[in-house]
A and B are shown apart, each in its own frame.
Chain A
Amino acid sequence: MKDRKININRPVITAGEIESFKDFGSLVNRYESASRFRYYKFGVMGLAVAAVALIVILTVWRTPAGDPSVAFVNPPMKGIDIGYSSYKVDAAQGAELTYKTGSKIKIPQDAFLDKNGKVVTGNVDVKYREFHDPVDFFVSGIPMTYDSAGTTYHFESAGMMELTAYRGSEPLIANPESKIEVSMASRQAGNEYNLYYLDTVKKLWVHKGKDKIAECEPQQMIDSVASNQPIPAANEAGDTSLVYPDYLRAFGYDDKMATIGSELDKVKAELKSVEDAKPFKPKKATLNGRKFNIDVDPKEFPELALYKGMYFEVGEENKNFDAKLYNVTWEDAQLTENVKGVNYQLTLSKGKEKHDLIVYPVYEGEDYDKALKLYGNKFSEYQSTLAEKKAEEKRKLEEYQAKVKKLEEERQAQMKKIQEEQEARMKAWAEQQKTWAEQQREIDEAFAMTQISGGAKDQGILRVFTISNFGFWNCDRPQIMPREKVLAARFADAEGNELKFGYVYLAEKGRNAIFTYAPNFNSLGFNPKKENWLWGVAGGNRLAVFMPEDFRNIPAGKASHTFVMNVVERKFNSVEEVREFLGLENNKSAQVL
């Protein structure tokens, strides 16, 4: 039983209502995202600030020296983080690795030590990733505050990276005698950035000097990225809808059923023939004397030709029978079966005159006796044959039912197999789509690197430094919180229910930073002359957002404000989705303290 839901006389949907669902622009966007492409996009906005306004961390950490039960680097959104690129390096040989943004990692020979300080040989697994905009900063959960001389600053970043190395599951140590050099692609020009390393034991950023700026041609960066991007293979599985089979037609269900049924039909026909050939029981003539002697075609009436000496007696029901009919030479006499096995209709006609009589085949005297005896034998034979045929019919019926059942099982198995194949093809297609989308995003990112924020020169920037430890390295400049306007803040949803957040984040257009407000903060500061975004995480891991237009509507002259947040119900599945949802433009770092 399928037990589907049924609606009777559901209200009709109008053409106007259907029209409201049309969105060709959105369809084209989805098509372009899903399609394969082998060319680079130009003029893509930087990915810098796209997802900043949305992400809110519920439980994370308070400060770099905060709750010890919570990991120091704690991605706030489950399942969403910046992925690593993985490389296999022969430790004795060294290698030059290229990341998707065009960054280079030069690994000299013998760059790795084990926990005992011994130089590692053989293959080593190196993992690397970068963070370039507030979206990246958030999803990674990397603390972005820096304490110096009793003041807490917030980092405005020109790019951050993480480099780790393992032999199997054993983390390795960077060899200070053979240092790894990183040339990290950066979207921020200028040499006012410092180099910092994140000490995860002491839970703070450590100043490590300055990076060096190297410039490179954008095309170099693109080419280096492109060389790492495999060209997607033709997707054969994409055309799943058009190769989706018509199960019944492919399986030949109707033809097979017809074949199975035909054998049963044949036996049924034979049985009917047997039944039709039931012997006719001879009847003795009455003494009414009303008889016709008619020559009967034995082919047409085989049951009548069985016995000799037959007459047709006119039945008593023929009330208007006139014996004068015997004296007429009739032009035509037609005999047809009336009641099967009992009587016939005799039609006598001459010109327009016509008489219908019900007549009975009868026998007299010795002919009757002989006919009766013969009938007995024939009837026994008939019964025997009938019984055989019925038994055969029963057997055939059982065979038929068994075959139908088997056919149905085969059909179901076939359908299941095809469905599984279909699902596997569609899954592979979906995976491929995902891969292509990711590859295109990487290409877009690489190209975005060429769009230098704040710089007059249209060139790529590489920030070059050597590392003394594996882990997080950051090119940053510390910033203080904006305080042009300070308000005592309260947060509520659209229904007026109070919202409680762990951390609240502020982003300001023109700064590649996020300003983090720790739990239980008293006041919130921002620059009303800039575009601002504010966000937090409400219950159920939902984002709650306060957008630039909301900031513009804050009344002037107030000391406090209830920030009415838009709580987003949608579930985000990737960094890109968060970035796309926010739709923030590339934040250009133009301000210098």
Chain B
Amino acid sequence: MSWRDAPRSPDRAPNQVHVPEGARETFPLRRRVLPMDGVAGQAIETARNRLIVTAALFGLCFIALGFRLVDLSLFQGAEVAAHAHRTPAKLAARGDIVDRNGVLLATNLDTASLYADSTRIINAGDAASALVTVLPDLSRADVEAKLSSGKSFIWLKRNLSPRQQWEVNALGLPGLAFQREERRVYPYGSLASHVLGLVDVDNKGLAGVEAYFDEKLADPARVAQPLTLSIDVRVQHVLADELAGAISRFNGIGGAGVVMDVQTGEILAMVSLPDFDPNDPAAVPPETRFNRVSLGVYEMGSTFKTFNTALALETGSATLASRYDASHPLQVGKHLISDSHPQNRVLTVPEIYMYSSNIGSVRMALDAGTAAQQALMNRLGMLRRTSVELPERGMPLVPKPWLEINTMTISFGNGIAVTPLHLATGVSAMVNGGVLLPATLLKSDHAKAPSGMRVVSEKTSESIRRLMRLVVMRGTGKKAEADGYLVGGKTGTAEKTGANGGYAHKSLLSSFVAAFPMTSPRYVVLAMVDEPRPNKDSAGMATGGWVAAPAVGNIIMRIAPMLGVEPVDEKSPVITEAMYVPMQGEGAE
């Protein structure tokens, strides 16, 4: 550092010899009284001027600080305060859902949701530790992170119970507060979960009737009016219970079941297993939300022989007395069609149905013709989605083009994939006098006669009823018998399509579709187990007759009393006459 341009006075310079520390006599401090002139005088003058500049700069700085202070406290305060006190909008109420008897299936509860103003939290760590003692399902680390986030509004836990709210309040932590909310509650838990569906955290329907009727349920004008379903929660429970039992006995991966009123199309019970608890949407595994009844499409197998028999009777190509050769398997191209309960002889139409003969069914279908089969399938609604009130509706897989080979396989329920609900709806039409009533989840107004579409004649329907009863009395469905309730039904055992497109012989879909009482059917019951395995009591079998038929029998035993179906004496002449089927081939048995 040097600056040589300061004015210097030659006569003074020699006196200014620097003397280091200690030589005080020569120190200029003593000369301060002298009037300033020359070098030192000018330097002092410069210093004073520059000191004024410095002082001015400082003055400006301090004034700026003052202005900023006033600006912050008086003019930005309102804005910040408004930001701090924003609260989320109140959630709208949502209508209740009840079953056909007015039992509450879904409702709203006023709950308190806990949030934090993290700016008012004194010690995030302590507060988090205290909170998890009363709300053990929260993660301490997560709560601490939220409490120290600096946000003035952050949710900690939605929908606390009154006890939890009390406990949180008892902690006395500042910065925590509650927001009143309405929480969707399903008192029966997972029962009917696929029917009801579920809602998201903001009570918007995500699945089931919650989603299908979301607009209606959320409409403030209609909140007071509950949505009445056709479901009977008692029947729903029986169906779920028996189906779960069958799945567990045969180690199945899932199951589907329907109970349907054949006179109205109302679904009294609809069960898809595994199911889920809609009360805790976050914990629902996505795969459990799959509705096997209304969304899953399957080749239903021999239960379709009901339609095939109706087709033959309706077109007149066969009567109950007609005979078909089932003595040896049918070679169709490279496929060999054989029977699983082979009788190796000529069978009558009732025998073909009773023994579930594929060979006989194919021959019947070929007699009736492709066009007639296609037309009946179309009338039965097998070629389009059902109109049930759910977002989850499966589209059937239908052969295109519909060739003779398709006619042959469809006769025994292969080559066409429909939902179990399609099947139940179709069988309802078969037994109710021949009128197809679309399946519905809404309770019908019984004053109004349900408007159905005739699909087969009253006479054909009457014959089908006798044939279905025959199956349970003497055929593949004996295990579905429920004493006094005149159960009729049909087994179905389909091989599931494997990964390579062919049939996986060990992966079965075993079902049983039944109706009761067969003299005047009121309800159709369908039970289906996905991939059952033979167990030690089933003689190596995992067919519909072994797996699903007993479940259906149990279901009918349990629901018939609830539904007001009175048992009858099956041996009475009136009944035996009504259920009589001429069996020309009986001697061969």
Q: Do A and B bind each other?
A: no
The interface of chain A, by Cβ under 8 A from chain B, is none
